[in-house]
Structure 1
Amino acid sequence: MTNGLVDSWRLKIEHRSGFGYAGPVSSSYNEARMWPRNETRQAVLDARVEVWPPARTYRYEDYWGTVVTAFDVHAPHEALTVTATSTVETLPPGDLIDDGEGAGWADLAVPEAVDRWYELLLPTPRTGLNDELAAIAADIRAAHSTPHAAALAACEFVRGEVAYRPGPAGVQSDARHAWELRKGVCPDISHLTVGLLRAMGLPARYVSGYLHPAPTAAIGDSVAGQSHAWVEWWVGRWTAFDPANGVPVGERHVVVGRGREYGDVPPLKGVYAGPGSTGQTVEVTITRLR
């Protein structure tokens, strides 16, 4: 994935997550979304998902195209651990759209476009806006002649108004709560941005994945990485942007899944029979191999 003009990165990702319980659990039914995607700007060279206690796993793609590793555990257990290990080659940002390019407002409003992206135009529990935010979205749209320029302005607005607090991309709050607090982790900022984009009439997706935290990472160094979230919007084609960091999505980002919001792409979820949970653990280690 090198073409003489840009250099790819090769990243090894180890993502360990699990639950502890207050006593023996008799059975649990689980889904992990921790397997990176093969697509235009990234190639999965190796991937595996391991479960403890041992369980037979099977994989499938869900409605949104995310690879799901599903498994049941029927032996008594007081903890559950899932470890996903992958090696992915990624590319820097490329073929970016200029502010004045892409589909126009009229193009996004035609019935064919609205029908095609209907699910990605509707608010969800985590991306819904209050009256103040809806008015802000209307103002941003009115100030820009193209949807793409308005989308970039929305990202800049959120980054300027809501402080990013790096941390695990777990089950967070929603767009309204992040706005009220004026701070949040990456899912909060992505939910708020997606809500503004949809309110302006842009189809928008919530993206779940990983971020290497160091733009100048040394080859061979292992660092504490992050589960991360960013956004994509459609203006004739999909464009990705990381509003939490204010950068286009590039070689430090690895896509795992897409959906309407976090609820469509949680890294690990499940149901079980037994005593209460004592909490979830998450650890991500990323090594730049090239």
Structure 2
Amino acid sequence: MTSRLRIRHETRVGYPSPASSSYNEARMSPLTLPTQTVLDSRVTVSPAASQWTYWDYWGTQVTVFDLADPHTSLSLTATSLVETAPPSPLPVPLDRAEIAARSADSRLTEFLAATARTTVGPELAERARAAAAGLDAHQAATALTDLVRARLDYCRGTTGVHSGAQEAWDQQGGVCQDFAHLSVALLRAVGLPARYVSGYLHPAPDAAADGPVAGESHAWVEYWAGAWIGHDPTNGTHPGESHVIVARGREYGDVPPHKGVYRGAPGELPQVRVEFTRLA
């Protein structure tokens, strides 16, 4: 049975004095994949600006816009209508030795290398290898994400967008971004290619149809075991029809929903609001 979700993602940035210009990229358009079909997707900007789109190196649709006139605020709204399907049964994983061999001479190597946000110390890497010893890829991924979930408490304010995996482990807390970065780091430490997934998770799948529900953007992981397999370490589950994929990359830095630069005085932190409506 499929689900149909409408997602509205609003971002607003204010400036203490007019910004003379700004240059922006938005990664807020969901992907059409075997597990989800995008029926409609659009991005609107205020003040109004011309837009163009391109597909980046990681396969994400990017909306680009520039504001050349002075402005005291920037509002960005992405609205999508997506039909999602239940997950398929897990395929039989390749042997971990074969995964290593196939990863050695392909683009998969990009998802084995540590990045600034997915680096952990040798002691934690060794702990990951001990936890995954003798397990197949699916079992290893479950063991490692269970380790992450047992270590971290979900709490806001302990980390930021620049925080790394080791920091989240040491502080024993974070948000979904930290759960994902730490899981990616541990998966890579045991030789499983892993990537960071940015998207949305409907927070109340049993909500009444046509009833708007406040939510947030979400992050989880995918690991390669002959095919890419999703896992949501924050919730201890494989992604289902309540998950909507927007972007994938090595870490958050490859897939931020909105980034840009502007000329002017330092501004306030962005105000973000995400709303879900289940239509079917």
TM-score by length of 1: 0.93
Offset, 1:18: 2.6
Offset, 1:278: 1.6
Please give the root-mean-square deviation of Cα atoms over the aligned residues, in Å: 1.5
- The alignment partner of 1:277 has SS state of coil
**Percent sequence identity over aligned pairs:** 52
CA shift digits 1:149-183 (9 cap, x unpaired): 1011111111112112379x972511111101111
Q: Distance in 1 between matches of 2:138 and 2:162?
A: 28
Question: What residue number does 2:209 align with?
Answer: 219
Pick aligned residue for 1:160 from 150, 160, 164: 150
Query: Does structure 1 residue 286 correspond to structure 2 residue 276?
Result: yes
Answer yes or no: is the 8 Å Cα contact 2:103–2:193 preserved in 1: no
Amino acid at match of 1:19: V
Question: What residue number does 2:250 align with?
Answer: 260
Q: Distance in 2 between matches of 1:210 and 1:200?
A: 28
What stretches of structure 1 of length at least 5 have no aligned partner?
Answer: 1-6
- The alignment partner of 2:269 has SS state of strand
What stretches of structure 2 of length at least 5 have no aligned partner?
Answer: none
Q: Distance in 2 between matches of 1:56 and 1:187?
A: 31
Question: What residue number does 1:72 align with?
Answer: 66
Query: Does structure 1 residue 182 correspond to structure 2 residue 172?
Result: yes
Query: Does structure 1 residue 24 correspond to structure 2 residue 14?
Result: no
Q: Distance in 2 between matches of 1:103 and 1:121?
A: 17
Amino acid at match of 2:34: T
TM-aligned CA distance change 1:170 to 1:223, over 3 Å:
farther
Q: Distance in 1 between matches of 2:7 and 2:40?
A: 10
Q: Distance in 1 between matches of 2:112 and 2:86?
A: 28
Offset, 1:124: 0.5
Amino acid at match of 1:211: L
Query: Does structure 1 residue 139 correspond to structure 2 residue 130?
Result: yes
Offset, 1:115: 2.1
Pick aligned residue for 1:249 from 218, 239, 246: 239
Amino acid at match of 1:24: P
Q: 172-181 vs 85-94, which deviates more?
A: 172-181
- The alignment partner of 1:103 has SS state of coil
Q: Distance in 2 between matches of 1:271 and 1:80?
A: 12
Offset, 1:146: 1.2
Question: What residue number does 2:188 align with?
Answer: 198
TM-aligned CA distance change 1:266 to 1:170, over 3 Å:
farther
Answer yes or no: is the 8 Å Cα contact 1:20–1:278 preserved in 2: yes
Query: Does structure 1 residue 124 correspond to structure 2 residue 115?
Result: yes
- The alignment partner of 2:207 has SS state of coil
Offset, 1:105: 1.6
Q: 214-223 vs 254-263, which deviates more?
A: 214-223
Question: What residue number does 1:4 align with?
Answer: none
Where does 1:75-114 land on structure 2 (aligned, <5 Å)?
Answer: 75-97=69-91, 101-110=92-101, 112-114=102-104
TM-score by length of 2: 0.96
- The alignment partner of 2:104 has SS state of helix
Aligned residue-pair number: 278
Offset, 1:16: 0.3
Amino acid at match of 2:204: A
Amino acid at match of 2:98: D
Q: Distance in 1 between matches of 2:215 and 2:269?
A: 20
- The alignment partner of 1:247 has SS state of coil
CA shift digits 1:91-131 (9 cap, x unpaired): 1222224xxx3011210221x42221111000000010012
TM-aligned CA distance change 1:190 to 1:61, over 3 Å:
same
Offset, 1:22: 1.6
Q: Distance in 1 between matches of 2:132 and 2:168?
A: 21
Q: Structure 1 stretches (4+) deviating beyond 3 angstroms?
A: none
Answer yes or no: is the 8 Å Cα contact 1:172–1:188 preserved in 2: no
